[in-house]
Amino acid sequence: MKPLKILMSASMIMLVISGCQTVKQAATIEAPTPAAFNVPLISSAGQTIGGAKLTSLPEGVRIEVQVSGLKPGAHGLHFHEKAVCEAPNFDTAGAHFNPHKKQHGFKNPKGAHAGDLPNLIVDKQGNGKFDAITKTVVLLPDKPDSLLKPGGTSIIIHEQEDDLLTDPTGNSGKRIACGAVNN
């Protein structure tokens, strides 16, 4: 009878230990992606001029941008294909984020890049605010239209207004601010 009790006790201990390992592994594998990311935006001089908040919603990704110290008027705003923001020209951010190989601009009959966004409007004091929801990108890893793809993406502010049509950048001019989006 005593060997049976020892065998049963050892079996119970092994069951408990293996159960704990399974729970720990499941928690690691199924860790949720953060629902929101704060992205500092830097100028071509390398100084922080504001930030962007990206929030995952059921209907898409909400983009909230607040900046200061920019020239008044409309400025092109886009997601770019790399999370590398090397001042002064931010060429390291690559081209517009365009996983589906579309043309540029909301007015383009062939469809817009996934990274195309409406213009950022900057007031007379140099302050800009932007708040929109896009359905063309997600904040979920391993999706073709994810901003969190390997190597990440970036958000770029251009010096001029995006005409929302001309390929590849909407005639929006130089890149004047950048923020890296990565996990």
| Total domains in the fold of the chain | 2
Separation CA 152–CA 80 (nearest Å):
9
Verify that 100 and 52 share a domain, yes or no. Answer: yes
CATH of the domain at 55: 2.60.40.200
Do 11 and 48 lie in one domain? The reply is no
pTM beyond 0.85: the answer is no
pLDDT tens column, 90-122 = 999 999 898 888 877 677 777 787 888 999 999
Reduced to 3 states (helix: H, G, I; strand: E, B; else coil), residue 161 is: coil
Contact 63, 79 (CB under 8 A): no
- What pLDDT was estimated at residue 28? 43
94 and 5 together in one domain: no
DSSP run (H or E) holding 28:
helix 2-29
| Residues 102 and 154 reside in one and the same domain | yes
The residue to which tokens 């043309």 are assigned: 103
The CA R_g of the chain, rounded to the nearest whole Å, is 23
Predicted confidence (pLDDT) at residue 126 exceeds the cutoff of 70: yes
Indicate the pairing of strand 153-158 with strand 175-181.
antiparallel
pLDDT at 85 over 80: yes
Q: Percentage of the chain with pLDDT > 90?
A: 56
- Residue 169 and residue 183: Cα distance in Å, rounded? 26
Beta strands 73-75 and 120-122, pairing class: antiparallel
Query: Are 95 and 6 part of one and the same domain?
Result: no
Instruction: Answer yes or no: is pLDDT of 3 > 70.
Output: no
The residue range of the domain holding 26 is: 1-31
Residue 107, CA atoms < 13 Å, CB-side half-sphere: 10
- Which amino acid makes up residue 13? I
**What's the CA gap between 160 and 158, in Å, rounded?**
6
The 10s digit of each residue's pLDDT in 56-78 is: 999 899 999 999 999 999 999 99
Mark whether 86 and 150 lie in a shared domain.
yes
| The pLDDT of residue 144 | 87
